[in-house]
Structure 1
Amino acid sequence: MKSVTKYIENVLRLKVNKDKSRIGRPTEIQYLGFAFYYQFQEKKYRMKVPKKSLDKVMKKVRKLTSRKWSVSNSYKAKKIAEVVRGWINYFKIGSILTVTRKLDTVIRYRFRMCIWKHWKNPKTRYKNLVKLGISKKNARCAAGFHGYARVCRTKTVCYAMSNARLKKFGLLSAEEYLCKARCQVN
């Protein structure tokens, strides 16, 4: 490392940041927010999203889907779409399909919780579930006094607020946007 640093600083007259610079295997290094792994079938290195970058976007999603943030759900959907678009446009050159599926799952689950909280009263929840096509018996059980997280993972609520309904509401699917972003020709 010393000889490389010396060459860069003396011959090329560039400044080297010794905290960020190092020599190592590609699997040990992160560069511009990307990590690398070796794909044995293709016999080459591929880019992936490191845990730190994924945690960062998950933290943003949690903040935007906070139940105590009292804005309309359509505004939340718009803000989530901005974050997802920006994140995918940056990381789309890497292998992120499984990561976007995980991100989609978290976003939909947390968005269902926001909608559930906006309905507030058990009567309102019951009435809205019946409107969305849930049987009265299942709606009565779901509208009971369970916690938000528990109820929003039930089949009843997931069926009532299906992925298609959330999409109509304005919630962006990260996986679908990734497919569109990769197919675009510049």
Structure 2
Amino acid sequence: MEKQGLRYVRYADDFSIYTKSEHSARKIGNNIFMFLRDKLRLPINREKSGIRKPVNFTILGYSFVPTYVKGEKGKYQLVVSAKSWKSIREKMKTITRKTTPMTFDERIRKIKETSEGWLNYFRMASIQGKLKDIDGWVRNRLRYCIWHNWKKPERKRKNLIRLGVEIEMAYQWSRSRMGGWAIAQSPILGTTITIAKLRKRGYEAMLSYYEKVAPHLNEPLYTRPVRTVV
């Protein structure tokens, strides 16, 4: 494939070839199928094999979305697949579950290990917007863990006062009938258990780490597949 100048991605026994037109895709696909079947005598999974547009294709957790640039057509951007987003959210949800027997420092360490591993793998994708959303969600879950750990109203009151909340307001919030998750998302914790305070405990937002490792933030990474083969 390299000798023929084809653009392809291979992982183990899976591979995909990228072409500029459906006609080229069909021609190359037929040649590849015959070579694998007749020359190498390898079985071909017909359900997984075929010709697809990039928007209907995922590979190794990545997907493609078209980019809309004036005067340019046929360009696509790498993004993270829906399945991969669901996977990282489930992992973060498990780590930040308030009933999970884990100290706060252990949670922070687990978040760091999980997010850095995931972002190192997906650093080529354009995902800033979704990372902002997941970061806010994770921070609120951490606040919920802290609120839950304070347990008794009197302890909540004292801790709120230590964080700078006025005495009367601290009393009201410590006796609030609102659910813990609602309080975690409220200004009372957002303005006291701030991002800066979480950072002092070792927390780093996924977006912050991504901006360190993503190679394409200054020059957006585009790819040009029009049809996907095999």
TM-score normalised by L of structure 2: 0.74
Q: Which residue of structure 2 lines up, in the alignment, with residue 67 of structure 1?
A: 98
Using the alignment, how far apart are the partners of 1:148 and 1:154 within structure 2?
10
Deviation at 1:70, TM superposition (A): 1.7
Q: Which residue of structure 1 lines up, in the alignment, with residue 182 of structure 2?
A: 150
**Deviation digits for residues 87-112 of structure 1 (CA, Å, limit 9, x no counterpart):** 11111101110111111011101111
Residues 86-97 of structure 1: pairs in structure 2 closer than 5 A: 86-97=117-128
Q: Which residue of structure 2 lines up, in the alignment, with residue 175 of structure 1?
A: 207
Match of 1:53 among 81, 84, 96: 84
2:141 matched to 1:113?
no
1:126, 1:143 within 8 Å by CA — same for their partners in 2?
yes
Unaligned runs of 5+ in 1: none
Match of 1:29 among 57, 73, 78: 57
Q: Compute the RMSD of aligned alpha carbons.
A: 1.9
The code of the aligned residue for 2:195 comes to N
Using the alignment, how far apart are the partners of 2:147 and 2:123 within structure 1?
32
Structure whose residues are more often helix by fraction: 1
Using the alignment, how far apart are the partners of 1:79 and 1:180 within structure 2?
19
Question: Highest CA radius of gyration, 1 or 2?
Answer: 2
Mean CA deviation greater in 164-173 or 13-22: 13-22
2:153 matched to 1:122?
yes
Count of residues paired in the alignment: 184
CA distance 1:13–1:45, shift in 2 (3 Å)? farther
Unaligned runs of 5+ in 2: 1-25, 217-230
Determine helix, strand or coil for the equivalent of 1:37: strand
TM-score normalised by L of structure 1: 0.91
- Structure with the bigger RCO (C-alpha within 8 Å, sep 6+) is 2
Structure whose residues are more often strand by fraction: 2
Deviation at 1:27, TM superposition (A): 0.7
